[in-house]
Each structure stands twice: as structure tokens, then as C-alpha cells.
A and B are shown apart, each in its own frame.
Chain A
Amino acid sequence: GENVEQHPSTLSVQEGDSAVIKCTYSDSASNYFPWYKQELGKRPQLIIDIRSNVGEKKDQRIAVTLNKTAKHFSLHITETQPEDSAVYFCAARDAGGGNKLTFGTGTQLKVEL
């Protein structure tokens, strides 16, 4: 089955700096890669996603890059703000595997003033 690894587990940045979170996946059949933001005790919220036919996608301060050959994808947050502080999860989905998502282990992002 799919295995998703995520690094770093914790990330502390100064407000206004950029934050980068990296994930690798094992199953080359995976074709959909969402990123979720989860605040304590709440549901994961989709912040951006990318499909395997695209190498990069951007939405305001958030961008995701995908390298299919290397089987890794990254989340980039620019001009970080305190409200960006949360746990971020990457995930990978194999359309042929029942559409189930396999999540990374999460990154606790803390944006300090």
C-alpha cells in the first residue's frame, strides 16, 4: 500500500518568512495530492491540492510543487502570518485503490511574532 512520509514534524518561522513542508510517497499510481490544515480539535481543511498531470499550483500565498519522477511534493507558504499556525498534513490518493487517502505524519507549524 501507499506510504507517505512528511518532514519536518515541527517548523517554527518568524512572521513574514516562508515555510516549506516536504512529503514523499511510495506508490507511483497515486495521482492526487491534497494538503490539509488542521487546527486543534477541528476537522482538516483542504488548502490546496495538485494532480499528477501538473507540476506546480499556486493560490495566493500557498503553492504546491510535485515531482512525479522523484515521488515527492512540497507545500510552500510565503509571507507567513500567525494565523497560519496549525498542523499541516499532506496526503496521497490512488484512484485505483478505492480513492482512499493516505496521510503524512503531520507538521506542526508555528509562526512567531
Chain B
Amino acid sequence: GAVVSQHPSWVICKSGTSVKIECRSLDFQATTMFWYRQFPKQSLMLMATSNEGSKATYEQGVEKDKFLINHASLTLSTLTVTSAHPEDSSFYICSAKTGLTNTEAFFGQGTRLTVV
């Protein structure tokens, strides 16, 4: 299967600072990338969908000014958590897919964010 690499795997930051998470498709062009958040023992909740070269589409209840998404190339999308607070501590996972229909999306390994 295709490879999606996400970095960092874990990060600890202080309240009020910003953290950037990268999601890269290593061997295919990712027209669409998805960002999920997963709290302990809960399901994956979609935060936003980003298409290369376009503004991200955010799910209801997700603050676009707090979770900045950039998808400037076909192999890289970034999620920046701005002014992080302890309640933002979570497991953030990206997935990426090509522009072809009926193809699966591939997940990155996730980023464990802890805000102290």
C-alpha cells in the first residue's frame, strides 16, 4: 500500500504556543488530505478536508483560526494548532488519497500532542 508519513510522532508544548504537524505522501500524489482528532478511547473525528491548492473545508465545530491547515503541494499538508491549550491534547491523524474515485485513503502514524 501507499505510504503516508506524519511528523512528529509526539510533541509536548506549553500552553499558548503553536505546534505544526506535517503529513507527507511519500509515493503518490495526494489530491486530498484529511485531518482527524482522536481523544482517548474515542473514535476518529474528522476535523477538516484539504484539497491541494484550495482552502480547507472544516467540519462543524472546528475553529479554522485555531487549526490552520495548509495543503500547498500534492505531497504535503500541515496542521498548525495555534495558541494550544491542555484541552487540545489529543492524537492527531492525517490520511491522504489520490484524486481517483473509489480509492482508499492511507493513514499517517499519528501525532500525540500533549499541552502542558
- Chain A residues proximal to chain B, CB less than 8 Å: 32, 34, 41-46, 49, 51, 89, 95, 98-106
Contact = CB atoms under 8 A, between A and B. Distances in A.
Given A46-B104, A99-B97, A103-B44, A41 B110 contact: yes
B32 interface: yes
Contact of A98 (B49, B91, B104, B112): B49
B105 A101 contact: yes
B49 A89 contact: no
Classify chain B's interface size: 20 to 34
A95 B104 CA distance: 11
B49 A103 contact: no
A19 to B, nearest CB: 19
B91 to A, nearest CB: 8
A44 B107 contact: yes
Interface in B94-109: 95, 97, 101-102, 104-105, 107-109
Contacts of A104: 43
B32 to A, nearest CB: 6
A7 to B, nearest CB: 13
Contacts of A89: 43-44
Given A99-B32, A100-B49, A101-B34, A43 B43 contact: no
11 contacts: A43-B109, A44-B44, A44-B107, A46-B1, A89-B43, A89-B44, A95-B102, A99-B49, A99-B97, A100-B49, A106-B41
The 6 closest A-B pairs by CB, nearest first: A43-B107, A103-B43, A103-B44, A43-B109, A105-B43, A106-B43
